[in-house]
Structure 1
Amino acid sequence: MECRILSIQSHVVRGYVGNKSATFPLQVLGFEVDSINSVQFSNHTGYAHWKGQVLTAEELNELYEGIKLNKVNRYDYILTGYCKDKSFLEVVVSIIQELKKATPGLVYVCDPVMGDHGLLYVPENLLPVYKNEVVPLADILTPNQFEAELLTGRKIKTEDDAVEVMDLLHEMGPDTVVLTSTDLPSKHGDQFLVALGSQKTRNPDGTSSSMKICMDIPQVDAVFVGTGDLFAAMLLAWTHHHPKDLKTAFEKTVSVMQHVVKRTFTYANEMAGPGNRPSAAQLELRMIQSKADIENPSVVVEAKVLQKSSHQKK
């Protein structure tokens, strides 16, 4: 069966971020992707210079109206990432509400990009929209620790705190929550990042089950852009292929990331030469070169199951 995604994210002419980071890997895995570009920039903003345009809420609405008038507004998935304007985000919400009404099984994957390490990237007035309107619509949510804390009002200092925060996020709407990065210490040392996931599954017979997992992810000493967008896209793809098995979906997602990042790191260092730090251009993700790893990732990182439970219907 054809599986179609509406992806509303940023676009760059050169390099990989937003839709450029998500579309090719999803297409390689067999998905049809309809992209709406929230911005169109020459390159990502980590370069010394960038130029481009920002799509307004009215222009977004106009593009969606065109799709609707042709009666081709049927989607299996919606994917959203970085958005920095409140009115734009509110139009996104109304589009998702309309599409969910038209296709009850539609799955919304939301990367609530708001900030990291205590720093907001977006205006503060977006937080209530995410909290009250976006997250309740989401089926899969991929915040980092800072974003999860913002959404729930709870701090994460221990693994138990992280589990509690994921449960609070479940209560807000999403059945699958992945904390893509946390500041929790890894037992493997400083070179590893701790990520956690939680999935609630409802079975046709009325029973339900839940699973919580944890993963120590090897870190690479460089700043990559577009990795979060790739992560959300791959989580969409692999949860589609393993709908009730977050552990496998998470392992394949992170393994794709590892293959892409390591290939990029090796290439960037070769291009920069000994003793030089690679430039933003040299650190653009080696996406095309990673096609085989995206299609069939060898699992290089394993997740640990923290909790597993099943619940009978009441």
Structure 2
Amino acid sequence: MRTAVMECRVLSIQSHVVRGYVGNKSATFPLQVLGFEVDSINSVQFSNHTGYAHWKGQVLTAEELNVLYDGIKLNNVNHYDYILTGYSRDTSFLETVVDIIKELKKANPSLVYVCDPVLGDHGAMYVPEKLLPIYKNKVVPLAEILTPNQFEAELLTGKNISTEDDAIKVMDLLHEMGPETVVLTSTDLPSKRGDQFLVALGSQIIRKPDGTSTCQKISLDIPKVDAVFVGTGDLFAAMLLAWTHHHPNDLKTACEKTISVMHHVIKRTITYANGVAGPGNKPSPAQLELRMIQSKADIENPAVVIEAKVLQTSMDKKC
């Protein structure tokens, strides 16, 4: 059923945990379920995510990353259709990732780089500030698909988002930096459906052979869940990669399927966590680990439960 996808290979450079789902553990299984071959490089290897009371592990250095990539290259198996990156907190490591992406794009000019620019959230950075100029000047310009949250989009553009028009302008600024698909995975904008919904927005430019372009901008209202989940951003980026592959010129459908996968996984997770924790008890980080394996059918064929609204569609030589 997915023979065309089976030839697609993804290089995913993200964190890894022994227990639970974050980084590569959150991205690899869903991509494999959808038929993608996934080669994983673990930027860190931790016992569990850092939201637990205790965690142990190791961090991959830039030199060690180069050693792993050299092994792939020496065997002449360094051909990829997609690159997916997430959390990184070291400048030399991020610079090495940039060098690898450039080399792989030379080998395959049609390679698509999906970048989740993990910088922070809710007004606070949780990576060193010196990473920001590397993202702005070197990483984002290489990306075809970018998935920042509102705070990250504001950091990258230097513009605040207070209204939907602000968000549209920020997405346009991000387009000017390089990516042709931008999705603001979450914002603080008010939903017309009430306080129980988060607003996500997306924008896609489709280049045509005659030099013209089509732009589409969409918004989605996402039901809020009163719990803290880890690894959802990594799952989102992986699913957006997969569904834009299936619907390359239809951001609306790709986002609807991506968000619907998220909805099903989170709903199953919170139902399980509340059941295990018991009435009146707050679920623990271990109980709130994403129910990924149990959601296999929803990942493969998500029932669309969240529909996107088209904000605007334009055809112009410059979008």
Asked whether the two chains share a fold, i.e. TM above 0.5, the reply is yes
Counterpart of 2:28 in structure 1 is 23
Counterpart of 2:102 in structure 1 is 97
Choose which of 272, 281, 285 in structure 2 pairs with 1:280.
Answer: 285
> Unpaired segments of 5 or more residues in structure 1?
none
Choose which of 151, 154, 163 in structure 2 pairs with 1:149.
Answer: 154
Distance in 1 between the 2:177 and 2:91 partners?
20
**1:30-73: per-residue Cα shift (whole Å, max 9, x none)?**
00000000000000000000000000000001000000000000
Counterpart of 1:188 in structure 2 is 193
- The equivalences for 1:30-49 within 5 A come to 30-49=35-54
Choose which of 90, 94, 119 in structure 2 pairs with 1:114.
Answer: 119
Q: 1:312 offset after TM fit, Å? A: 5.5
Distance in 2 between the 1:203 and 1:300 partners?
32
Distance in 2 between the 1:269 and 1:204 partners?
53
Counterpart of 2:169 in structure 1 is 164
- The equivalences for 1:66-85 within 5 A come to 66-85=71-90
Counterpart of 1:238 in structure 2 is 243
3-state SS, counterpart of residue 235 of structure 1: helix
Q: Does 1:248 align with 2:247?
A: no
What is the aligned length? Answer: 313
Q: Which amino acid aligns with 1:22?
A: A
Counterpart of 1:211 in structure 2 is 216
Q: 1:188 offset after TM fit, Å? A: 1.1
Choose which of 60, 69, 79 in structure 1 pairs with 2:65.
Answer: 60
Q: 1:194 offset after TM fit, Å? A: 0.4
3-state SS, counterpart of residue 275 of structure 1: coil
**1:269-314: per-residue Cα shift (whole Å, max 9, x none)?**
000001100000000000000000000000000000001012269x
Q: 1:204 offset after TM fit, Å? A: 2.9
Change in Cα spacing, 1:312 to 1:152, as seen in structure 2 (3 Å) is: closer
Counterpart of 1:134 in structure 2 is 139
Counterpart of 1:202 in structure 2 is 207
Change in Cα spacing, 1:85 to 1:312, as seen in structure 2 (3 Å) is: closer
Distance in 1 between the 2:228 and 2:265 partners?
13
Distance in 1 between the 2:249 and 2:275 partners?
41
Q: Which amino acid aligns with 2:106?
A: K
**1:123-180: per-residue Cα shift (whole Å, max 9, x none)?**
0000000000000000000000000000000000000000000000000000000000
Give identity over the alignment, percent.
Answer: 83
**1:85-141: per-residue Cα shift (whole Å, max 9, x none)?**
000000000000000111000000000000001100100000000000000000000
Distance in 2 between the 1:244 and 1:205 partners?
16
> Unpaired segments of 5 or more residues in structure 2?
none
Q: Does 1:293 align with 2:295?
A: no
Distance in 1 between the 2:279 and 2:141 partners?
49
3-state SS, counterpart of residue 193 of structure 2: coil
Q: 1:207 offset after TM fit, Å? A: 2.8
Q: 1:208 offset after TM fit, Å? A: 1.5
Counterpart of 2:55 in structure 1 is 50
- RMSD, aligned CA: 0.8
Q: Does 1:271 align with 2:294?
A: no
